[in-house]
Amino acid sequence: MSAKTAGATPAPAGQKSGFRRMTDAEAIEAYEQLSIHELGRLAHARTLELHPEPYRTYVIDRNINYSNVCTAKCIFCNFKADPGDAEAYILSFDQIGEKIEELIDIGGTQILMQGGLVPDESDPHGHGLPFSWYLDLLRFIRDRYPSIHIHAFSPPEIWAFHQVFGMTLEDTIKRLRDAGLATIPGGGGEILVDRIRDKISIGKTRSQEWLAVMREAHRQEMKTSCTMMMGHIETIEERIEHMRLLRDLQDEYGGFTAFIHWPFQPDNTPLGRWKRLAVEVESDAGPRGRPRNDGRHLLLADAHEYLVWLAISRLYFDNIPNLQSSWVTMGPKIGQLALFFGANDMGSVMMEENVVSQAGATYRLNEAEIQRLIVDAGWRPQQRDQYYRPISVPKRERRTVDGTHRATGAQMANGAAGAAGAAPPVGGIVQLEVRGQPSAPQAAR
């Protein structure tokens, strides 16, 4: 395959891009035959066509893990606790409210809230929750912090609600949305191939179950993101199968706002102790020197592999508008370089992250650092919301992410577009208003 044939022919009807849809075989061929420079050049050209605006975006949010209790047995995770474990926790509404107030202090606009697969209230260890707890939590956040966008509950969590509490998937999502859920994160996707999931995601959603949650959310006109965790025991063909399933679902409703991929973080995880592929470049590598996994061994993804796959993702996903840089796992410099390999968004100023950090990812950036990375790459930094619309947060003295003070923050008023499921307006920059300090959050019910 040449760089010209990898993506320079007409697009399908209705596609903005001037590149035609890449087939699975072409994606594999591009991976095997094109250099990182050729792939980067093609992906960057595609990105500039899709995103000619003079800025690159970021969001200020906070990861809130309301519980680490989980009945799944994922071998890539070092965060979970079994019901009854000494380190198991469930946050109170007061604790969650305090975290949101800290987010507001630094100009944040949304939360990414996820937990484990928590059992129901009959759990003998006292680590179970009724479905009403989740609805009450959403209402509490929506009513107390009406301008905070709630991006919460991954497909495995929602599928568990549907099964454990005996509701239809349609009703489960509708009740969550009515209580204040705005959008759904793409967590728990890993690789949407059941051969992989049966080995690394035991007790969690199968591929079609994950997709069913997203399909129903999209049918109900909710927006979601989609993800992929690469660089473990998957083959290249299985990565492409995962992406084809996402692209096919996107063709149905167009509900995915963004795709985010990151390399598996092996530290302190059972999967990280799997036997690694013995790589000998002369015999095991492809034409460009890239080793190919046999599907039975661990083959971690380095910065080269991350950027190559980001570029292929931009060429392959002709119907997913945004690709996010994964600086949290790759570090700030590779995160910045990702803007030239297909990414148009720098992701989150992440106040708190508890999952991949437990597996070895320790990078932290504040807003000024993310802005500097964008400026140095040649764009204007632009804060956005979860719908990837530019937003304007009023200038005010506020605390920085690391806790040093510019001054105290303030509660954001009603009217922040996109909060609590509000339909996003078309075009323009959303103006966010500020008013007085919030009162203490109400007690958990």
Least confident of 122-136, 179-193, 424-438: 424-438
pLDDT at 27 > cutoff 80: yes
CA distances (Å), 33 to each of 3, 23, 25, 286, 310, in order? 9, 15, 12, 8, 16
- Domains belonging to the chain, first-starting first, are 24-431 (3.20.20.70)
pLDDT at 224 > cutoff 70: yes
For the segment 349-373, the average pLDDT, to the nearest whole number, is 72
> What was the pLDDT predicted at 192?
98
Q: Is 290 helix (H, G, I), strand (E, B) or coil?
A: coil
Q: What is the chain's mean pLDDT, rounded?
A: 85
Tell me which residue of 350, 308, 403 sits closest to 63, measured CA to CA: 350
Least confident of 83-97, 224-238, 267-281, 401-415: 401-415
| Contact between 20 and 9 (Cβ < 8 Å) | yes
Concatenated DSSP letters for 382-418? EEB-TTS-BEEPPP-----TTS--S----PBPTT-TT
CA distances (Å), 326 to each of 35, 89, 128, in order? 21, 28, 33
| CA neighbours closer than 13 Å in the CB half-sphere of residue 427 | 0
| CB-based burial, 392-416: b 16+ in 10 Å, e otherwise | ebeeeebbebeeeeeeebbbbeeeb
Structure-block tokens of residue 67? 């519980």
> What distance in Å separates the CA atoms of residue 389 and residue 432, rounded to the nearest whole number?
13
Tell me which residue of 72, 267, 258, 289 sits closest to 164, measured CA to CA: 72
pLDDT at 233 > cutoff 50: yes
pLDDT at 319 > cutoff 80: yes
pLDDT at 439 > cutoff 90: no
pLDDT bin (cut points 50, 70, 90) of residue 291 is: confident
CA-based torsion, 278, 29, 199, 128: positive or negative: positive
CA-based torsion, 35, 37, 43, 45: positive or negative: negative
For the segment 254-282, the average pLDDT, to the nearest whole number, is 90
Tell me which residue of 163, 137, 166 sits closest to 152, measured CA to CA: 137
> What distance in Å separates the CA atoms of residue 367 and residue 387, rounded to the nearest whole number?
19
Where does residue 273 rank: exposed (0-12), middle (13-18), buried (19+ CB within 10 A)? exposed
- Give the model confidence (pLDDT) of 50-95 as tens digits: 999 999 999 999 999 999 999 999 999 988 999 999 999 999 999 9
Rounded to 10 degrees, what is the CA torsion of 230, 233, 236, 241?
-80
Do β-strands 73-74 and 201-202 pair in parallel, antiparallel, or remain unpaired? Answer: antiparallel
Structure-block tokens of residue 125? 């260890």
Tell me which residue of 102, 169, 86, 96 sits closest to 133, measured CA to CA: 96
Higher pLDDT, 376 or 423: 376
- Residue corresponding to tokens 């469930």: 90
> What was the pLDDT predicted at 281?
53
Least confident of 97-106, 288-297, 311-320, 374-383: 288-297
> What distance in Å separates the CA atoms of residue 411 and residue 430, rounded to the nearest whole number?
17
Phi and psi at residue 179, to the nearest 5°: -80, -15
